[in-house]
Amino acid sequence: MIPVEDPRPAARLARRRFLTVTGAATALAFATNLPGGSSAAAATDKLHDDPFTLGIASGDPLPEAVVIWTRLAPRPYEPLGGMPYHAVEVEWQVATDERFRRIVRSGRATARPEYSYSVHVDVRGLQPSRQYWYRFKVGRYLSPVGRTRTTPAPGQRVDHLTFAVASCQAYTDGYYTAHQHIAAEDVDAVVFLGDYIYEYGISASGGLRNLAEPVPSQFRTEADTLDRYRLQYALYKSDPDLRAAHQAAPWIPTWDDHEVQDNYAGLISRTNAPVEDFLVRRASAYRAYWEHMPLRSPAPQGPNYMLYRRFTFGRLAELNVLDTRQYRADQASSDGWKVDSEERRDPARALAGAQQQRWLLDGVRTSHATWNLLANQVIMSRMDQDPTAGDLYNMDAWDGYAAEQKVTLDGLAMLRGRNPVVLTGDVHAAYALDMKRDFADPASQTYGVELVASSISSGGNGSEISATGQKFLDSNPHLKLVNERRGYLRVRLTERELRADYRAVPYVDRNDAPVKTISSFTVEAGNPGLHAA
């Protein structure tokens, strides 16, 4: 059985002072500032190993609140993570300093077996636009220390914001070195656009990771039950770089398809399983997702979960988080890249769905923020794979749902003055696109931009640009960049300008790759369009 890997702080996290607080100092501060209790000790007397193997996280920040998360799993690849089958009391603290001399909130939460001993504390009463540190304690065990931030207050003037944008981290396709570099960035939040896990079975070697210790045999089969999805998250969170990125900043996550099944669409599975059977699987996947993400309670009830939501960062930015999987109709023309068809253009076929679409456009319309960002899973702009008259469209992207795509894009075009910016993942490549009134006419009006982050690891080492990538560039004049290395996107906002830095690593089949900015673009507020920086 492979152990949960220990973080490598000496080499990669020394820049993060909050991660260098010694265990002894942390223990002393916790014992001094947080009252203990016999009930907590009694509930944890059977814990003989560190329960914080899966790390800690924070997310979904608000001006006065943030969610802090952990899951107790002393032996993460065993049933229930090796926990005894009873509820366990978890103590938590939030402070304004990394050594917890100024604790502003503290309390106790209950980790329950029915939720796989996950803890989601919605910490309230915090100050806007403020940095905090947090940690947990169970019995004699202390968690690592995490850093988080609240958002600016509504109407607050904000000089600048910085986000890291990431997606697609197949465990078997390589190491999460990009997350190591995200942890070293000074970002206000990490926006994760989906494919946090892949449901596929995992070989003993861990694929391109070529592990010295074999992955346990229970990972060979595809995840399709609640216990199996929980195992998949445990394995993914064994990666120290992923844990470090969670510790460094609050996350605002959404899902795509692989959190359930590749290219599933609403009620339709990839294999066209009976709907009743697939909804059982979807319910298990959604439950496991919530259990492992820093999301607010309540947990999903059955196969449905309201994941789309909005975050406001003072007067500078608003972030609309979309869900383009749960409500969509089956892909047209049996999926894949296909020519135009009546099915593709059928107005009855939903991607985000009418309710979410109204929520999105109404929100952008009434926004008072300078920049309006859309955290989106699959490419929203038109993308043609073939430069000839026989256009080819991706049936799994917005192009495959042409009627809803047109309503959404026309709505954003009417809101050009709101500076719409679409943030996208999914395709395992870095793209930069101008959004056009008429994508076939390079001279038509630009009303926004779409910034596509490459994958953290999915696709392996990748390359600068493949033959297919070059074909995309040749076929789509509004497409300004294609790069197929692994990495992430760094977006910096001011009142006057957005700057997008595409960050990439040269390899993921081994650890500790360096990172560099491969391309940068700016966008002027009030003047949509990409400019090479």
- DSSP letters along 226-251, please? HHHHHHHHHHHTT-HHHHHHHHHS-E
Confidence of residue 28 (pLDDT cuts 50, 70, 90): very low
Confidence of residue 391 (pLDDT cuts 50, 70, 90): confident
Which residues have a Cβ under 8 Å from the Cβ of 162 and sit 6 or more positions away? 185, 186, 187, 188, 490, 491, 492, 493
Residues 56-92 pLDDT 10s: 999 999 999 999 999 999 999 998 999 999 999 999 9
Tell the CATH superfamily of the 155-532 domain: Alkaline phosphatase D (PhoD) (3.60.21.70)
| Residue keyed to tokens 């070697």 | 205
The answer to whether the beta carbons of residues 91 and 68 sit under 8 Å apart is no
Helices (H) and strands (E) in the chain, counts: 10, 24
The answer to whether the beta carbons of residues 296 and 251 sit under 8 Å apart is no
d(CA 529, CA 70): 41
pLDDT > 80? residue 31: no
Measured distance between the N- and C-terminal CA atoms of the chain, rounded to whole angstroms: 48
d(CA 33, CA 340): 65
* pTM, 2 dp: 0.93
Residues 179-205 pLDDT 10s: 999 999 999 999 999 999 999 999 999
Q: Where in the chain is the domain with CATH 2.60.40.380?
A: 47-150
- Write the DSSP string, 197-208: S--S---TT-GG
Confidence of residue 389 (pLDDT cuts 50, 70, 90): low
What is Dmax (Cα atoms) for the chain? 75
Residues 292-351 pLDDT 10s: 999 999 999 899 999 999 999 999 999 999 999 999 999 999 999 999 999 999 999 999
* SS3 call for 42: helix
Task: Please report, to the nearest 10 degrees, the dihedral formed by the alpha carbons of residues 524, 525, 526, 531 taken in order.
Answer: 20
Query: Which amino acid does the sequence have at 352?
Result: A
Output Rg (C-alpha) for the chain, integer angstroms.
Answer: 23
The answer to whether the beta carbons of residues 294 and 59 sit under 8 Å apart is yes
Q: Which helix (H) or strand (E) holds 285?
A: helix 275-292
More confident residue, 15 or 376: 376
* Residue in 399, 407, 519 with CA at minimum distance from that of residue 453: 519
Q: Which helix (H) or strand (E) holds 405?
A: helix 402-414
* SS3 call for 481: strand
> How many residues appear in the chain?
533
Q: Where in the chain is the domain with CATH 3.60.21.70?
A: 155-532
CATH number of 47-150: 2.60.40.380
